[in-house]
């Protein structure tokens, strides 16, 4: 009897399973429904528990491309950077991404100040071209994001998209929109287990179910805090599997964003003599960062370079072989 209770107790210690996307029967239009989480063991330790879903790769697409975008990325994207819908289709096809992470950077007051209407039109256009759900990010300007993301949330009601990011100082408006429109939310915390937990509590207190929250632990890339980010994610995941429900959410890691910020990933060989081929170096900077985050417990990786996505996609397939 004691052994049966022990097994039953362990079965309850799982990461929440989060569903992205809704089909027509559920009020959406997605042909592919994606799930993450649900595991009862640390990453890829199949003999220790259940790992029902493979980590997903979301290709980062932006409505504008900033001037400091690395030349390696611009070359790889073949002139698609001013056509976000075509860019997304290419990343889903050739690169093999599982879904798209659309960043509405152009809505920022300093980067174009695009309107909510323009953002809604872009998201609706993208939903017509891809079969999967989307991750939709704001520009990082709180007041504008509250306006833009709330409008996009309402326009895509029932699609069960993933919206982000909310932080401890600004979470109520977008959380309320996601509750009303049936979406999921990304909760961002500054590499701190306690803040991550507190934000999840605040979000759930408003009324959003715990199985509709994803944690963004704000990782660092290779050479820029990777080890510390790894340790924080590992602590949070261990706590979740030990029974802390307020940390038992899937992780999203913005690998592409962080990796391509690194000086070593984007400078040319002429600027850094002896550093080797810049194309290969940048790709591998993103790949190594992504692989480390997978081992730390990442459920969703957002990535930028098509070749890096292909390499990590193959690595995930290999790691998921029981």
Tell me: pLDDT of 322 over 60.
yes
Q: pTM (2 decimals)?
A: 0.94
Q: What is the domain-level CATH number for residue 72?
A: 3.20.20.20
Tell me: pLDDT of 8 over 50.
no
Q: How far, in Å, CA of 316 to CA of 56, rounded? A: 9
Segment 136-145, tens digit of pLDDT: 999 999 999 9
Q: Report which of residues 5 and 196 the model is more confident about.
A: 196
* Residue 169 pLDDT grade (very low, low, confident, very high; cuts 50, 70, 90): very high
Tell me: pLDDT of 10 over 80.
no
Segment 228-247, tens digit of pLDDT: 999 999 999 999 999 999 99
Pairing of strands 134-137, 99-103: parallel
Tell me: pLDDT of 7 over 60.
no
Q: Could you say which DSSP state residue 245 is in?
A: G
Segment 191-231, tens digit of pLDDT: 999 999 999 999 999 999 999 999 999 999 999 999 999 99
* Residue 93 pLDDT grade (very low, low, confident, very high; cuts 50, 70, 90): very high
> Which domain range does residue 45 map to?
2-319
Tell me: pLDDT of 1 over 80.
no
Q: How far is CA 221 from CA 55, 71, 91, 100, 234, in A?
A: 18, 19, 22, 21, 16
* Residue 12 pLDDT grade (very low, low, confident, very high; cuts 50, 70, 90): low
If you average pLDDT over residues 301-309, what whole number do you get? 97
DSSP per residue, 136-197: EE--S-HHHHHHHHHHHHHHTTTS--EEEEEBTTB-HHHHHHHHHHT-EEEEE-SS-HHHHH
Per the DSSP assignment, residues forming a β-bridge with 166 are 187
Q: Report which of residues 271 and 53 the model is more confident about.
A: 53
Q: Are 134 and 163 in contact (CB under 8 A)?
A: no
Give the angle 85-306-220 at the CA atoms, nearest 5°: 105
Tell me: pLDDT of 280 over 50.
yes
What is the three-class DSSP state of 205?
helix
If you average pLDDT over residues 82-105, what whole number do you get? 95
Q: How far apart are the first and last CA of the chain?
A: 30
Per the DSSP assignment, residues forming a β-bridge with 251 are 215, 298
Tell me: pLDDT of 184 over 50.
yes
Q: How far, in Å, CA of 177 to CA of 161, rounded? A: 12
How many structural domains comprise the chain? 1
Q: How far, in Å, CA of 184 to CA of 116, rounded? A: 20
Give the distance from CA 52 to its chain's centroid. 19
| Whole-number average pLDDT of the chain | 93
Segment 27-82, tens digit of pLDDT: 999 999 999 999 999 999 999 999 999 999 999 999 998 777 787 888 888 888 88
């Amino acid at each position: 009897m004691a052994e049966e209770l022990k097994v039953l107790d362990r079965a309850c210690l799982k990461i929440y399973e989060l569903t992205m996307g809704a089909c027509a029967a559920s009020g959406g239009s997605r042909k592919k429904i994606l799930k993450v989480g649900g595991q009862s063991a640390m990453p890829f330790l199949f003999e220790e528990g259940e790992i029902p879903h493979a980590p997903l790769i979301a290709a980062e697409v932006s409505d504008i491309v900033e001037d400091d975008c690395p030349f390696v990325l611009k070359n790889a994207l073949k002139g698609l950077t001013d056509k976000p819908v075509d860019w997304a289709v290419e990343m889903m096809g050739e690169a093999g991404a599982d879904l798209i992470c659309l960043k509405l950077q152009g809505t920022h007051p300093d980067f174009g100040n695009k309107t909510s209407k323009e953002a809604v039109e872009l998201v609706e256009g993208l939903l017509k071209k891809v079969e999967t759900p989307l991750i939709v990010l704001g520009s990082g300007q709180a007041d504008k994001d509250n306006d833009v993301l709330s409008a996009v949330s309402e326009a895509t009601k029932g699609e069960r998209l993933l919206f982000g990011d909310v932080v401890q100082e600004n979470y109520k408006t977008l959380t309320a929109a996601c509750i009303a429109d049936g979406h999921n939310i990304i909760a961002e915390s500054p590499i701190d287990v306690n803040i991550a937990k507190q934000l999840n509590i605040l979000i759930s207190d408003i009324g959003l179910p715990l199985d509709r929250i994803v944690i963004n632990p704000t990782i660092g890339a290779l050479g820029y805090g990777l080890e510390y980010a790894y340790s924080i994610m590992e602590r949070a995941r261990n706590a979740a599997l030990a029974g802390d429900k307020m940390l038992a959410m899937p992780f999203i890691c913005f690998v592409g964003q962080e990796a391509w910020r690194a000086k070593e990933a984007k400078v040319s060989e002429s600027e850094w003599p002896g550093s080797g081929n810049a194309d290969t170096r940048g790709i591998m900077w993103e790949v190594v960062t992504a692989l480390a985050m997978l081992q730390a417990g990442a459920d969703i990786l957002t990535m930028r370079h098509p070749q890096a996505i292909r390499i990590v996609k193959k690595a995930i397939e290999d790691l998921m072989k029981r």
